[in-house]
Every structure is written in C-alpha cells, then in structure tokens.
Structure 1
C-alpha cells in the first residue's frame, strides 16, 4: 500500500427501485462512512440524465464523490460492498453501475467523460457504449446485472471533471431507517415559511397557486425532503426553518437540476426524435382540445408545414388554462420532451398573438335589429323591415393573454426544467405567478 495520497472520483447509478432505496442516500452514506479515513474534496454531484428514458427507475439521477485517500483499493472495495448490500438488486429495472477514476487518469479521460455526460443528459446511450468506454479508458468499474447503471456512473464522473456546466444545489434530508416506507412527518407551514424566508434564492419548495408542498416525496425511499436553490447557504437557510421528524443524515449536492440542460434547439419538426427534449418555434395550427383525463392538446406547425402534437398534461394543473387560450395562428416557442410523437410542454413563450374575432349575424342598417339567416347560401334578412345582407359581422375580441414566458407550476416541474426566475433576460414570468 502506498503512503502517498491520491485523488479518486467515484460514480454510482441505478441502485434504487420504484419501491424504495435512493442512490443519493447511498452516496450520502458512503460520504459519511468514508470521511473517517479519507478527505472529501468537494460537495457530491447529483446529475439528472435524459428524462424520457423509459427504463429509468425514478428520477434518472446519478451521483459522484470526489475524495483524497491513501489506500484507493480499500475505498473501492468498501464502495462495491456497500452497493452490493444496499442496492435493490431484486428490482427488475435496478442494474447498478460503479465507476472509479483515479488521479493519474484525470487528464486522459476528462474530455471523453465530459462529452459522455453531456450526451447522456440529451441523448439515448446504450449499455454497450458505456461498457466499451469504460474499457477503452481503462477505468475500474463494477456492473451489476445488465450494468445499465454504468451510463449514469460514467456521466457523474464526467460531470465531476467538467467545471463548465450550469448548476444549482439541493439539500437532501434523509429519514431514519426504521420509518422508511411510512408517512413522512413534515410540518407544511414550516415549508411555506422556509419558502417565504428564502425565495427566490430557493424554489419549488411549495406551490402557492395550488397550495401544496412540493419538496416532500411520496415514495418509499429514504428522502425526507429536498430544498433546491442557487447556492449552499440558501438551501441551508431554508432547511433551518423546516420542522419534521428526526433526520438521520443530510447531504448537499451540486446538480444540473433547473438548468434546461436536456433541451436541444431545432429549426424544424423533421429534426425531432423520440425520447429527446427540444426547444421548437412554430405556429398554433389547431384549437386546443381537452381530452379524457384532462389533458389539453393542440397541433403546432413549423415553417415547413410539418405538424406535431403538443400537450399540457393533467398534472400541469392551472397551466392548461393558458394553453386553452391559444388560437390558430399564434406564434410560440415550446420547451419540452417528445414521447409517442407528442411534445410534453414544460415552458412556453408566446411570441405573437393573432387577433380573435366573433362572427355574428349583421345588424340591419335601417332599424338596427340583428338579421336572421335567410337560408343556406342566401345571406341574411331583417324580419322587421326586409333589408338583406350577404356579409357577416366580425367583432374583434380581447385576448385574455399576453405575449411572454409561461411555465408549469412547481408541482408539475421536471427536475431538469429551468425555472423562469433563473432566466437572465427581460421575459419576465407572467403566469402562473406566486
């Protein structure tokens, strides 16, 4: 064993299932266990990958630790043993992956791992690609079952080596193990107070419009609550107001949540592929229609005349009211993910709104009474004085919506979607408001 210290990056992914466990908890546990004999260099990283992947367990998150140690093999063995014992290996979609990058490799692997990370947030990557890259770069890794977790583990290592991506922070508090799977005890009023004291430096703690808390999950995993914000001091301040059941441990992550890192700019619908996320400009082609389940759908036409369905699904709540106010001809930009040939709207920018008209029977120029139809194709006739007209009356209606940026409420926000309060331009959020 060498007496010299060496730096080590550890990437982990896919240890949870829909029923329980959490990869971020495992990372926090490892950080605490390892800190007795290693030096943790920076806050852990939590990266969300492509949100459209159908075989993800829950939030498609992977994590990475950056530390300095004397005995890297001791660390590697402990990490693998911990993952093997704590991961939900019985879960059908749980396929953990662990990757280790030692200091002497940093310079040689940085560019390829960084590129892999950025691709994994936007694109669809195969398990074989991840295994081939791990071997090509001569990285130590461990793949459990089919090894799909290697994709996220490599991505998290790439994120740790890449300083140039937009980031936010999340404070995660974890439950004591004996209460996992039971109802969480978090005082709602304290969450609203935490938001009042720290917004806009923190966000998505509560949803004021729908009067619900957002930061407390409902699944059986160990997370008690998560506070998201712009920096470490802000999320710590917000957490100090939270009144809850006992917290076993906490961890603050640097993360790509709230960055729109998943979105791809495209000039037309022909460039769109399934399981990717886009920013697309076009013209409203069809009247928005609300279908069974409460989802609101309309067609968008691009400059080439191609069409795609855009949807504000029921979980977006009051955001659907905005979408229902669109009319054919409105020029908009939509932000969202494409699955089953439908773009799930996360944000929308209204560029130009066309005039709306109400078509009515004409007024009689002689007596001022509203004319009646004289029959199919025969125009209109005043019953009182017999005056005829072939033309309808078009009355311009006031549009109950303004140009600008709009977003779904916090209760429907995806992890990666960038909040309007983080936009550095003059397109101020108009809807749904606080």
Structure 2
C-alpha cells in the first residue's frame, strides 16, 4: 500500500518529514522502499517552506536481505529490498487498522489551528500516473482534480481543513524517480534545539569531505548549510548522490557526537535534480508559475533596485524578458552585475509576470567590449574634440567625424554562476551535479 501525506507543517513549526519518520518507525517491519521526499512547484504562494510532499510504501516483506535506513529511539530501521519485482502486487482490500493508525499519527503531529495548514492523507494500492507529478512541478493543481483521480482509482483519502495536502500526497506517490538524490535527516522532537557553532562546523566538514554530497557548506563564507532554523524537529539534513555515503557520514558523526545517534532516516528525493526545469523550445510561450531553461542575449544592463534585488534584461528570440536575482543570493548578484550588453547567456529559473527569478546562470559567450575614442582627423591628422551627439571636430581644420571604436584588451571568460548554497532552491541542481549520474531504478530501494 502507498501512503502519501502533505501540508502538515506551517511556516514557523512542524515538519511533514518527521510525520513520515514516525509512520516508518511504527511500521518498520513492513517498509519495502525508502520513504520519498518529493519537492513540488516552488512557485506556489501557499507553500510553507520547501513545498515537500512525502510518501511511503508498505507491504509484506519476505526477503532476508535488508538494508539499514536510519534509527528510531536508537533502534535500527531497515527495509527489505525489492529488486526482483517492479510493482508489488498489493492486496485489493485495504488494511483499515493500519489506515487508522496512520491517520492518528498525522492528527497527533500536524500543526493545528493554522489557517494555511490543510493536511491530506492518501492510501492507494497502485502507483499514480507520472503525469500528475509533472503537473505538480509545473502548475497549480486544483484539489477537485486530484479528488476525481482518487475516486476513479478507488483510493482512500482523508482531508483536514480544505485537505489541499492530497495534491502533494498523490504527486509524491506519482514521482517517477528518473533522477534520484538522497537526504539524511536527523531529528529531535519537537525542535532540533541549540547546536554549538563548532559542532556545526565539524559536521559540515565531515559531510563536505565526500564528493557525492552537495549544498553542505558555503566554503567562501565558512557557513554550514545543514542546520535549519530551530523551529522544526530537524536538527540537520545532509544531501547526497550515494546512499551508502550518507550512512558512512552519519557513522562518522556518531563517533564524534553520540547524541546524534538516536533518530534519523534517509529519504529518496528529487532535490538538486532540476526536475522542475522545462527547456524553452522555439515558439513556446512562457507559462506563469512554471520554471525554465532559457538561452538568450543580455539587452539591458544589470541594475540594483530598492531592497538590493538585481534586475537586467535578456532577449529570447523576439521576446524581451526581465531577470532578477534577489538580495538573499548575496555575492551571486556581484557576479551577475558584470554582465554586458550582448552577452550570450543560459539561465534557469521560475517565471511570473514577465520576470525570470534566476536560480543559476551560464555565460556561454561573452560579448566583445569596444572602447569609444576620439579619432584623429582624416584630413590633417590632428586631434579632434567631442562636440556632442557622437560627433568630433578637428581642432585644426574643423573637419567633423564619427567616433572611433577599438576592441579593448579586457578579456572575459565563460563561466557558470549560482547563489551560495544557503540561498538555493531545493530542486535547483548545483553546477557540481551537472554531469552526475543519478540513480533511476525506483525499486532499487
């Protein structure tokens, strides 16, 4: 049976991943694949912090081969590998006792009395179509649309409040896992609590020492990016491409700091995959709330405006598009500020109201910079002086000439730019992973 949950937290507290952790801990002997943390459309106004939805797969395990995926109260959580079957044959009837237990866990831990917290819980004996996942990355899906799908598939679902969470719950189950990364989350309920800065740095450096991890630290600033604000049960989260490396990192942390050896779990995720990015082909129209890869030419110089946000313009085909890098991206804006008219660029980001919110940028081919100079008189060879309107007059004979343009020695290189790790979106693929090999076999874990 598939279990999907979403929209249980608020902007200031709670965490849906922790509820998934509690469900997995409760049914540890029946978990048959890694729990899934699936990030959806980052542009929706009613999202909480990262727009992440969770799903879990439960079945009757018969295989002896098991792999440890975490610990709950110091006891190992393991799952049985399902390498020999693509989609297990789940029973057509539902386990009502299990359903009530899951609902009870959600009701215990979700953020109550929050207007924008509207949990949805979904139970399905079959995986949902991948198109639902794609739609959930690219647009705003109505609750009614998902409810119709649930009714047609004889799925069971529970709504709290408006129940908007059923959208993410179904979309998480529908994730195709064409690109998979992993995240190890360490918990302390109800809040992660204070962690000394020196301890944070040591843990960050342990994670950073593995080539397969990403978004651990911002080395230029020495800032550790694994520890969220102390408002949820998450102490830290370590992201990587290799499952076994995350297990090894946690063991290294445990050897130094045994207090972190009690509650943690690894999730399969779509984080850092650019799954939300659509390649903008010729003739395509930009759609509100979708995210794109766009190649064009800078046609308006970068300018900082009130609040520190940096704006510039690009020409895509015959279309003029504004681009913005927001203040929290810090030094990223300093690099973008060096762009020149005519630079050939590829940028990635979400589109809304005529503006691309930049997640990263590649300078494919810098424009050639020319310097305007006063020409020597073509008649007598004397100096000329600027008389305005791009005209120059010979001081000696009065001959009027156009300015001279000379290629400068200023050489600019192609480059790939991105915000610091702490300012990146969950889904955005860091340049470090550009040529990475992502796991694609959903049933390997």
Instruction: Determine if the TM-score, normalized by the shorter chain, exceeds 0.5.
Output: yes
Alpha-carbon distance change, 372 to 12 in structure 1, aligned in 2, over 3 angstroms:
same
CA–CA distance in 1 between the matches of 2:182 and 2:382? 66
Alpha-carbon distance change, 176 to 367 in structure 1, aligned in 2, over 3 angstroms:
farther
Q: Is it true that 1:94 corresponds to 2:113 in the alignment? A: no
Bigger drift between 398-407 and 21-30 goes to 398-407
> Which of 300, 309, 312 is 2:325 aligned to?
312
The alignment of Structure 1 onto Structure 2 pairs a total of residues equal to 400
Q: Deviations over 1:121-163 (max 9, x none)?
A: 222211111111111111011111101100011112222xx4x
TM-score normalised to structure 1 length: 0.85
> Which of 210, 217, 224 is 2:235 aligned to?
224
Is the CA contact (8 Å cut-off) linking 2:311 and 2:322 kept in structure 1? yes
Alpha-carbon distance change, 224 to 185 in structure 1, aligned in 2, over 3 angstroms:
farther
Cα RMSD between the aligned structures? 2.6
Q: Is it true that 1:372 corresponds to 2:382 in the alignment? A: no
Aligned to 1:346: 359
Q: Deviations over 1:194-228 (max 9, x none)?
A: 14421x21011101123211111115011111000
> Which of 9, 15, 29 is 2:22 aligned to?
29
Q: Deviations over 1:322-344 (max 9, x none)?
A: 21122222222211111333111
Alpha-carbon distance change, 124 to 395 in structure 1, aligned in 2, over 3 angstroms:
same
Q: Is it true that 1:413 corresponds to 2:424 in the alignment? A: yes
Q: CA deviation at 1:84?
A: 1.2
Aligned to 1:132: 148
Alpha-carbon distance change, 130 to 219 in structure 1, aligned in 2, over 3 angstroms:
farther
Aligned to 1:279: 293
For structure 2, list consecutive stretches of 5 or more residues without a partner in the other structure: 62-93, 437-445
CA–CA distance in 2 between the matches of 1:337 and 1:168? 22
Is the CA contact (8 Å cut-off) linking 2:390 and 2:403 kept in structure 1? no
Q: CA deviation at 1:374?
A: 4.2
> Which of 33, 56, 59 is 2:47 aligned to?
56
For structure 1, list consecutive stretches of 5 or more residues without a partner in the other structure: 1-7, 426-434
Q: Is it true that 1:329 corresponds to 2:322 in the alignment? A: no
Aligned to 1:40: 31
Q: CA deviation at 1:43?
A: 1.3
Is the CA contact (8 Å cut-off) linking 1:373 and 1:381 kept in structure 2? no
Aligned to 1:194: 206
Is the CA contact (8 Å cut-off) linking 1:332 and 1:348 kept in structure 2? yes
Is the CA contact (8 Å cut-off) linking 2:375 and 2:392 kept in structure 1? no
SS in 2 for 1:57: coil
CA–CA distance in 2 between the matches of 1:202 and 1:377? 55
SS in 2 for 1:68: coil
Q: Deviations over 1:260-308 (max 9, x none)?
A: 00011122586112211011121111111111222111111121x2111
Is the CA contact (8 Å cut-off) linking 1:259 and 1:416 kept in structure 2? yes
Is the CA contact (8 Å cut-off) linking 1:289 and 1:324 kept in structure 2? yes
> Which of 357, 360, 363 is 2:370 aligned to?
357
Aligned to 2:69: none
Alpha-carbon distance change, 409 to 366 in structure 1, aligned in 2, over 3 angstroms:
farther
CA–CA distance in 2 between the matches of 1:129 and 1:292? 41
CA–CA distance in 1 between the matches of 2:179 and 2:45? 26
CA–CA distance in 2 between the matches of 1:207 and 1:376? 48
CA–CA distance in 1 between the matches of 2:237 and 2:390? 65
CA–CA distance in 2 between the matches of 1:341 and 1:375? 36
Q: Is it true that 1:298 corresponds to 2:289 in the alignment? A: no
Q: CA deviation at 1:371?
A: 4.2
Q: CA deviation at 1:397?
A: 2.7
CA–CA distance in 2 between the matches of 1:76 and 1:273? 39
Q: Is it true that 1:142 corresponds to 2:142 in the alignment? A: no
SS in 1 for 2:301: coil
CA–CA distance in 2 between the matches of 1:287 and 1:142? 51
TM-score normalised to structure 2 length: 0.83
SS in 2 for 1:92: coil
